[in-house]
Structure 1
């Protein structure tokens, strides 16, 4: 991970998401908005809602995505996923990058809520980067186990080097 730019580190996320031009995405914990910007570049009629609890992250994400915000393809909000009001069945994909909430004591109601936010057949994608293969493998296993306890089907975990992607399909 050392020596790799934030854009390069998020490019693999967006490539794994396989964003379609009309997709509706929710990014939980958007940080500085790098993945949001890369996803928005692939949209034509779709939309990304990016949320983060930290005001400083939201400010950076808004600055990085200013053109996408003006174009109407991105919205960035300061919000906590456990409390923000969002319409049910309004996202094709919900994703998070390095958000430990998904592998450390994941609140069951949160996963149920995400399931309600997704369209039927929509996907939750949880991405993680860790310094070692063993560490990221453990994180992927914990995230996959949490997702399997809820109304998600086809939960898969893919670990490559020090990166992991866990995918769960909404029932």
Structure 2
């Protein structure tokens, strides 16, 4: 993987070749393609509330013939774009341009889905990509999980995770070495909300990177 951050995230997630991975709010960053380098025989799907980010990601991935796109109901746009750019509140309301029609590029490895996480219908996402659940769900620099009690978001995630699956909430813009300078959630805030929702929480940190792993008992 070409990005030191995502190499570290992938190591913490213990990605396997057959994993089914969902990234929340990838924006138009290269994260999906980087994750797919580890998930060689599985599935990588990105769900984003920004139609603009979905279109840019489809263009980026389409050049490599590696993605399919689909969309749900129109949802709010995030001008900062999630997943490695500015921290985002994935559920904050704003105005979005209409979502472009779904365009199949190549559905074998990487998929894209336009929806707001809190209003996402899990069965629609799972049916679209032909999976019964995801082994691992990743969100990078998505603030909604600590700026409020993410009750609706965690309820959706619970329905998307397979038994024994894990949610990975990661923060940071630098690398796994050096000083921690990026803004991150207050200590204990994520733990509190995740524990209240019934998850067991483990935290890993290295350099400028933080990853909170939430799993069901």
SS at match of 2:118: coil
SS at match of 2:188: helix
SS at match of 1:159: strand
Picking from 61, 67, 70, the partner of 1:65 is: 61
Q: Provide the residue aligned with 1:75 in structure 2.
A: 111
Name whichever of 66-75 and 91-100 sits farther off.
66-75
How far apart are the structure 1 equivalents of 2:155 and 2:107?
32
**Shift in Å, 1:57:** 1.3
Name whichever of 143-152 and 9-18 sits farther off.
9-18
Which structure 1 segments of 5+ residues have no match? 1-5
How far apart are the structure 1 equivalents of 2:3 and 2:27?
12
Q: Which structure shows the higher helix fraction?
A: 1
Q: Provide the residue aligned with 1:50 in structure 2.
A: 46
Which structure 2 segments of 5+ residues have no match? 68-105, 127-131
Contact 2:117/2:156 (<8 A) preserved: no
TM-score for both structures, normalised by structure 2: 0.67
Higher-Rg structure is 2
> How many residue pairs are counted as aligned between the two chains?
165
Q: Provide the residue aligned with 2:216 in structure 1.
A: 170
Q: Which structure shows the higher strand fraction?
A: 1
Name whichever of 26-35 and 61-70 sits farther off.
61-70
TM-score for both structures, normalised by structure 1: 0.83
How far apart are the structure 1 equivalents of 2:164 and 2:41?
20
* 1:109 is aligned to 2:152: yes
**Shift in Å, 1:106:** 3.1
Q: Provide the residue aligned with 2:122 in structure 1.
A: 86
CA RMSD of aligned residues (A): 2.4
